[in-house]
Amino acid sequence: MQFTAAQIALLINGKLEGNADALVCSFGKIEEATEGQLSFLANPKYEEYLYITKASVVIINESLELKQAVTATQIRVPDAYTAFATLLAKYQEMQTQQLSGIQQPSYIASSAKMGENIFVGAFVYIGENVKLGNNVKLFPGVVLGDNVQIGDNSILHAGVKIYVDCVIGKNVSIHAGTVIGSDGFGYAPQADGSYQKVPQIGNVVIEDFVEIGANTTIDRATMGSTIIRTGVKLDNLIQIAHNVEVGTNTVIAAQVGISGSTKVGKNVMMGGQVGTAGHITIADGSKIAGQSGITKTVKQPNRALSGTPASDVSSALRVQAMTKNLPELEKRVKELEKMVELLLSERVNA
């Protein structure tokens, strides 16, 4: 597919500077792009490449003041990064829209209800009473258990497994290998030291405009629902336990583990490898640094937390600084102990 600079500017409401007929057919990083590619500049530290890039078209911030001439056609927008992301999304959407039909072999239960413009890849299993909205794309190896519902324009990549009764909203993207609705980790200790499994009879509800990375697992509720609210973005390799609720527009990085019945607020940001205790609440707008441990409820919204157990970032940084000095402090304490012993010895002998 080819687009002119003028067409791109129209798509992102940008101001064109240069050759409106410049053609692009692919994307490239500004430092590596070649003729016929579209690039962008958002980070000022890469500005030097703007003046030497071979890209045909570059999206830049409207506030950028050029220090020298630029050979590439420029499209100025308020936020170059957001505009470029919008273009990539449109490009990806055009690619997936071309997919339609049902590949074989695949299994579709007779009671399943299918929307328009569906794509079903090879080796897909669709169980009884499944409901698929319009423009749903199921890539090879997807498994949908009985009574699963998937809303319009949602995409399930290769090998995604959705267990029975789970509900997926509209415009949801779930990447390869993710499992939605597996059993929560519930066992009742017995007098003989063994554990009796607690049946998990709830489901998972994923609302609209959610994206879930590869090989993430979201457990079904013991009763009721595990809920991922609208606009949540989950990275790869995340574990979300039974009866968890993740609030609107929260973003969670890779290898985070959220224990059962935890309530995560709106607009929360979690760095990689954060872990939480169960049955706690994390306030709206919390920003939690990577590898932090959240052991108790966070009541105050919009706090930045770090460490284990997590505390305010400023306090955690002070503790880290003091920790580095512990060997020197230990040495000084031992020297003081020797001085005290010497003074006591002299007093006794006086």
Beta strand 73-77 with 15-17: parallel, antiparallel or unpaired?
A: antiparallel
Judge whether 114 and 130 are in contact, CB under 8 Å.
Answer: no
Give the type of residue at 306: S
Determine the residue type at 194: S
Strands 167-168 and 149-150: parallel
Dist. CA 91–CA 289, nearest whole Å: 33
- 3-state secondary structure string, 75-105? EEECCHHHHHHHHHHHHHHHHHHCCCEECCC
Distance CA 342, CA 44 (A): 62
Q: Which residue type is seen at 31?
A: E
Nearest-CA neighbor of 124 among 162, 95, 152?
Answer: 162
Question: Which positions are annotated as active-site residues?
Answer: 242
Determine the angle formed by the axes of helices 326-349 and 313-324, rounding to 10 degrees.
60
